[in-house]
């Protein structure tokens, strides 16, 4: 679904959008940040009656619609709209600046009343299902068009690269750093993607060339790059990017040089770095913490197993789940939990399959979805779920494709988008599939324009997914980028 917003931005959304008088609204139905996210809270939003068709009810459809009430107890039926785009009502008059919006007092977005766009009620009254509606203002009438979601190319990066990082900044831009280019070698270049224009611009180079590093968004908005490798070996240095100034500054070095490690920003603002590979020969079990307030690193408890090519996920309880990877005894199926409050690790249930080069995704229900990877013999299409509440793993349906070095992105509708990767025998994929947590099933969707692995995927604030770089089927490093 595509629309043009008030600043001329072309946007594709996973659910619903419409625009009128150069002002746009967008809807997401499975996000924890929309106006109907908590039906049991004090705002008392109720599910609309979909069996009737009048001004206050909805046609039966796949659209979850809610009953919004004004200060005069007038009812409006609309989906859950992203809180970040809603205007706040006037504190005194309880009115909205636009005649095309109404002030509602039972939104869950904030204690203050918010302005509900009246076009939202149209979505619930008409309903949508398999297709998406695009609206534009034409001679004061809204003209609908039916479109199907898919992929389209966006501007190319200045450098082809793989083994790089991509970070979504607080201003909505994406920062891409480092990586490897066949023509240039290991890179210290950095560039920015602006979703409002679809263009790339270079920013100041990093202090060090690096790939297989990590990038973490700190609570102050800066980006911490740590470790990786250059032409001389594994790195222990770290540096900070300041988006407001567009500059890099060095910060203190890690205790251990490492690549193929993980970095996770904890709820206390510190960054936990785990494991990794030292100079292509030593598997690390060490972990350390970066404190943005002091700019220093301190060691914390070691993992039971040394590992690299693993994943680390922050659970809803604040603990960090580390799974899989390549260890001293081979490829691992073990999983461990780090507790930031005491700085220690505990073993939790093992995965059904040993794997590395896999992906993990935190679902809206709190469970962790693990997909694909390599088990030492074959590339996997298996997927399994970790339940933090009981510490156990269960299998879920297999992906359509066997994949490693792919990406997995949790969309605003709660589904997981898996893109690209490498199949058995170095066969590179451009396939794309979606996992639906509500049914536990996979469905194929439109293929990417380019087959790629060792790429990145970033969910933008407008709901699109930006895929960058990687290696294609001919082992060529890519500078292309595309949007889902």
All domains in the chain, ordered by first residue: 2-147 (no CATH), 152-483 (2.120.10.80)
| Position 33 confidence tier, pLDDT thresholds 50, 70, 90 | low
Dist CA 58 CA 49 (whole Å)? 7
Mean pLDDT of 266-288: 96
Reply yes or no on whether the pLDDT at 121 is more than 90: no
Mean pLDDT of 319-324: 98
**Which of 18-27, 39-48, 75-84, 392-401 is predicted with the least confidence, judged by mean pLDDT?**
18-27
Mean pLDDT of 152-171: 95
**Which of 137-151, 170-184, 318-332, 454-468 is predicted with the least confidence, judged by mean pLDDT?**
137-151
pLDDT over 70, % of the chain: 83
Reply yes or no on whether the pLDDT at 301 is more than 60: yes
Angular region, 57: left φ>0, alpha ψ -120 to 50, beta rest: beta
Q: Are 11 and 59 in contact (CB under 8 A)?
A: no
Q: Computed from CA positions of residues 308, 423, 371, 375, in that sequence, does the dihedral angle turn out positive or negative?
A: negative
* Cβ-Cβ contacts under 8 Å for 303 (sequence gap 6 or more): 274, 275, 285, 286, 287, 322, 336, 345
- Report the mean per-residue pLDDT for the chain: 85
pLDDT over 90, % of the chain: 65
Reply yes or no on whether the pLDDT at 400 is more than 70: yes
Mean pLDDT of 336-362: 97
Q: Are 80 and 109 in contact (CB under 8 A)?
A: no
Q: Computed from CA positions of residues 255, 184, 172, 62, in that sequence, does the dihedral angle turn out positive or negative?
A: negative
* 70-118 pLDDT tens trace: 888 888 888 777 776 788 898 888 888 877 788 988 888 777 888 888 7
Nearest Cα neighbor of 317 from 263, 224, 386, 371 is 386
Q: 404 exposed, middle or buried (CB, 10 Å; 0-12, 13-18, 19+)?
A: buried
Mean pLDDT of 202-209: 97
Mean pLDDT of 188-197: 94
Q: Computed from CA positions of residues 353, 358, 364, 366, in that sequence, does the dihedral angle turn out positive or negative?
A: positive
Reply yes or no on whether the pLDDT at 12 is more than 60: no
Mean pLDDT of 60-65: 57
Reply yes or no on whether the pLDDT at 2 is more than 80: no
Which comes out higher in pLDDT, residue 81 or 162? 162
Q: Are 379 and 426 in contact (CB under 8 A)?
A: no
pLDDT of residue 411: 92
Nearest Cα neighbor of 49 from 41, 61, 57, 60 is 57
| Position 59 confidence tier, pLDDT thresholds 50, 70, 90 | low
Q: Report the 10 Å Cβ neighbour count for 142.
A: 15
Dist CA 422 CA 451 (whole Å)? 9
Mean pLDDT of 433-452: 95
Angular region, 466: left φ>0, alpha ψ -120 to 50, beta rest: beta
pLDDT of residue 133: 31
- What is the Cα gyration radius of the chain? 23
Q: Are 345 and 373 in contact (CB under 8 A)?
A: no
**Which of 55-69, 123-137, 252-266 is predicted with the least confidence, judged by mean pLDDT?**
123-137
User: What b/e sequence results for 57-91 when a residue is b if at least 16 CB atoms lie within 10 Å of its CB, and e otherwise?
Assistant: bbbeeebbbbbbbbeeeeebbbbbbbbebbeebee
Which comes out higher in pLDDT, residue 383 or 129? 383
- Prediction pTM value: 0.72
CA angle 323, 212, 176 (to 5 degrees): 110
Cα first-last separation, the chain: 10
Q: In what order do the strands lie in the sheet with 165-168?
A: 165-168, 174-177, 190-194, 199-203
């Amino acid at each position: 679904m595509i629309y043009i917003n008030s600043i001329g931005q072309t946007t594709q959304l996973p659910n619903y959008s419409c625009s009128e008088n150069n002002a746009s609204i967008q809807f997401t139905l499975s996000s924890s940040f929309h106006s109907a996210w908590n039906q049991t809270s004090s705002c008392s939003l109720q599910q609309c009656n979909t069996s009737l068709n009048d001004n206050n009810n909805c046609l039966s459809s796949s659209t979850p619609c809610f009953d919004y009430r004004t200060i005069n107890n007038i009812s409006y039926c609309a989906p859950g709209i992203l809180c970040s785009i809603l205007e706040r009502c006037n504190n005194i008059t309880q009115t909205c600046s636009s005649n095309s919006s109404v002030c509602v007092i039972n939104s869950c977005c904030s204690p203050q009343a918010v302005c509900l766009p009246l076009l939202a009620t149209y979505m619930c009254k008409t309903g949508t299902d398999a297709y998406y509606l695009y609206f534009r203002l034409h001679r004061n009438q809204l003209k609908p068009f039916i479109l199907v979601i898919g992929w389209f190319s966006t501007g190319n990066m200045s450098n082809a690269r793989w083994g790089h990082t991509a970070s979504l900044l607080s201003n909505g831009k994406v920062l891409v750093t480092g990586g490897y280019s066949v023509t240039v070698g290991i890179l210290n270049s950095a560039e920015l993607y602006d979703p409002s224009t679809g263009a790339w611009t270079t920013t100041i180079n990093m202090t060090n060339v690096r790939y297989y590093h990590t990038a973490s968004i700190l609570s102050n908005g800066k980006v911490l790059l740590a470790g990786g490798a250059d032409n001389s070996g594994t790195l222990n240095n770290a540096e900070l990017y300041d988006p407001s100034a567009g500059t890099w500054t060095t910060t203190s070095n890690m205790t251990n040089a490492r690549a193929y490690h993980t970095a996770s920003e904890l709820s206390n603002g510190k960054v936990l770095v785990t494991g990794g590979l030292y100079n292509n020969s030593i598997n690390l079990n060490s972990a350390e913490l970066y404190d943005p307030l002091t700019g220093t690193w301190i060691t914390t408890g070691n993992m039971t197993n040394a590992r690299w090519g693993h994943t680390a996920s922050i659970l809803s309880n604040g603990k960090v789940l580390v799974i899989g990877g390549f260890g001293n005894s081979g490829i691992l199926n073990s999983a461990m939990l780090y507790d930031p409050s005491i700085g220690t690790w505990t073993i939790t249930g093992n995965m059904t399959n040993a794997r590395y080069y896999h992906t993990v995704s935190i679902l809206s229900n709190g469970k962790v979805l693990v997909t694909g990877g390599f088990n030492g013999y074959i590339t996997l299409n298996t997927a399994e779920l970790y339940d933090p509440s009981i510490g156990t793993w269960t299998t879920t349906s297999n992906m359509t494709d066997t994949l490693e070095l792919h990406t997995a992105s949790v969309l605003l509708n709660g589904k997981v988008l898996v893109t690209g990767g490498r199949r058995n025998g170095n066969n590179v994929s451009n396939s794309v599939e979606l996992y639906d947590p509500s049914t536990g099933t996979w469905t194929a969707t439109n293929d990417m324009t380019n087959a790629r692995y060792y790429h990145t995927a970033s969910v933008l604030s407008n709901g699109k997914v930006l895929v960058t770089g990687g290696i294609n089927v001919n082992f060529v490093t890519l500078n292309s980028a595309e949007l889902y």
